Amino acid sequence: MKTSSLLPRLLCLALALAWTPGALASTVFWGSLFNDNLYNSSGQQLDSTYSFEVGTFNAGFTPTYQNVNQWEANWHVIALAYSPDINGWNASQQFFDGTVNFNASNNSDAVGTDPTYAFNQGDTAYLWAYNSKTIEPSSEWALVTEAGNTGTLSGNPWVIPNLGDSGSYNWNLGDATTAIVGGSNSAQGPGTYSANPGVFSLQTAVVPEPGSAILLLAAAAAHLTRRMRRLSRMSLL
């Protein structure tokens, strides 16, 4: 159950606080609800092959549907959750969660991170869900974040905390408002789907190959141009 799965992580946090007084700058709790609505592109529940990362991108890099092949090179993992439950992802009960302790230099102590990398205060955090980071037809991704950094629904803004802040924060999936690929909170974003579950917190999409994404956009632009020309000719009749 979720309560028992959280105990080891809570104990580790308590021990860290006890043995390193003053070393922590802030703590972030992140994840989804218990028995949440998490689906793949065909409307099936996410299985144990999926992993979940929170992280940031290099300054000046903006992730888009068209540059998916550049994400990994610009990505910095804050924390990682994966199956089984002890590692943060419980596929049978459909929830993922994790805890991040930032120290006074804004280094993360979580699994999957580079412990020497200093995250930048105020940078936007993203959630990246995937079954493989290799771009191939079987790969499915979702990259979501909280646009505007408001945190008004159930948690706090998805931003790197202040270096001098010793408080705790919650980055909840329910606050995600923008999907770069995939869908969040019942709104499908860019990507290829074969089903719409209707109500969902997260839905992955088939990862586009960069060339195919550009071709799709070019085709859409060409179609729009032809449509506008036809409408223009009709208005002249």
| Residues in contact with 29: Cβ distance below 8 Å, sequence separation at least 6, in sequence order | 97, 98, 99, 100, 168, 169, 170, 171
**pLDDT (0 to 100) of residue 126:** 98
Q: What is the pTM of this model?
A: 0.80
Q: What is the pLDDT along the chain (237 residues), one digit of tens a residue?
A: 444 455 445 445 444 443 344 456 899 999 999 999 999 999 999 999 999 999 999 999 999 999 999 999 999 999 999 999 999 999 999 999 999 999 999 999 999 999 999 999 999 999 999 999 999 999 999 999 997 756 566 788 999 998 888 899 999 999 999 999 999 999 999 999 999 999 999 999 999 776 544 444 444 444 455 555 554 554 545
- Burial-class residue 133 by CB neighbours within 10 Å (0-12, 13-18, 19+): middle
**pLDDT (0 to 100) of residue 217:** 46
CB atoms within 10 A of CB 62: 8
Residue with tokens 């021990």, as numbered in its chain = 15
**pLDDT (0 to 100) of residue 226:** 54
> What whole-number distance in Å separates Cα of residue 61 and Cα of residue 63?
6
3-state SS of the chain is CHHHHHHHHHHHHHHHHHHCCCCEEEEEEEECCCCCCEECCCCCECCCCCEEEEEEECCCCCCCCCCHHHHHHHEEEEEEEECCHHHEEECCCCEEEEEEEEECCCCECCCCCCCCCCCCCCCECEEEEECCCCCCCCCEEEEEECCCCCCCCCCCCCECCCCCCCCEEEEEHHHCCEEEECEECCEECCCECCCCCCCCCEECEECCCHHHHHHHHHHHHHHHHHHHHHHHHHHHC
Residue 205 β-bridge partners = 141
| Residues in contact with 107: Cβ distance below 8 Å, sequence separation at least 6, in sequence order | 113, 115, 116, 117, 118, 119
CA atoms within 13 A on the CB side of 110: 30
Of 123, 224, 126, give the one whose Cα is nearest residue 177: 126
> What whole-number distance in Å separates Cα of residue 76 and Cα of residue 143?
14
